[in-house]
Amino acid sequence: MNAKYTHIIAAALGALLFAGSVPAAGPVKSVDQRAPLVLLDEERHIVLEEMRNFLAVLQTITDALTREDMKEIARAARTMGSGAANEIPPKTVAKLPDEFKVLAGNVHTIFDLMALDAESLADPKHTLTQMNDLLQKCNACHGIYQIKVGKTAKK
C-alpha cells in the first residue's frame, strides 16, 4: 500500500472515531418531558408517600380478590376513598394544577365506588373492572407529570 492510501485510510478512521465521540449539537435537553410539579422536598415526600399507599392498597385489594373477600376489598378501598382523611396539606394542594386535582379526585371516587359495589354487588369481576379503571387513571397522571424539588411554587 502506498503512502497516499495509508493517509486516506487513517483520515477516514479518524473521522469515524470523531463522529462517534462527539455528542449531538445543541443545548442539553432533559430526557423526561413530563410537566414538572415544583414542590418542596417535604411536599414531594408527602405526595410520594400517598402514592405508595395507593400501590399498597391495590396490592391488598388484589390479594382479597383472589379469595373473593368482598368485605376486605370494601375496607381497603375505603381507606383511599374521598372520605379518608386527606394526607396532603392544603398549602401543597394549592400548588398542584387543576388537571392534577381532577385526576386525583377521580381516583378517590373510583375507590369510593369500589367499596360501595363490593358490598352491594359483591361481584369480583366487577371489582376487577374498577381496578382497570383505577390503573388507567394512575397511568394517565404518571404520563403527564413529574415532581421536581424547588422553591418556585406554581401559582
How many residues at the interface with ligand HEC, by CB under 6 A? 19
Cβ 129 to ligand HEC shortest distance, Å:
15
Q: Please, which of residues 15-54 interact with ligand HEC by CB under 6 A?
A: 37, 48, 51-52, 54
Find the shortest distance in angstroms from Cβ 26 to ligand HEC: 25
Instruction: Give least dist CB 87 to ligand HEC, A.
Output: 13
Nearer to ligand HEC, 106 or 124 (CB): 106
Q: How far is the CB of 35 from ligand HEC (least distance, A)?
A: 9
As a whole number of angstroms, the distance between CA 146 and CA 35 comes to: 6
3-state SS record for the chain: CCHHHHHHHHHHHHHHHHHHHCCCCCCCCCCCCCEEEEECHHHHHHHHHHHHHHHHHHHHHHHHHHCCCHHHHHHHHHCCCCCCCCCCCHHHHCCCCHHHHHHHHHHHHHHHHHHHHHHHCCCHHHHHHHHHHHHHHHHHHHHHEEEEECCCCCC
Residues between 46 and 105 with contacts to ligand HEC, criterion CB under 6 A:
48, 51-52, 54-55, 58, 100, 103-104
Phi, psi of 39 (to 5 degrees): -130, 160
Q: Which of residues 109-148 bind ligand HEC (CB under 6 A)?
A: 134, 137-138, 141-142, 145-147
Question: Could you list the residues that contact ligand HEC (CB under 6 A)?
Answer: 37, 48, 51-52, 54-55, 58, 100, 103-104, 107, 134, 137-138, 141-142, 145-147
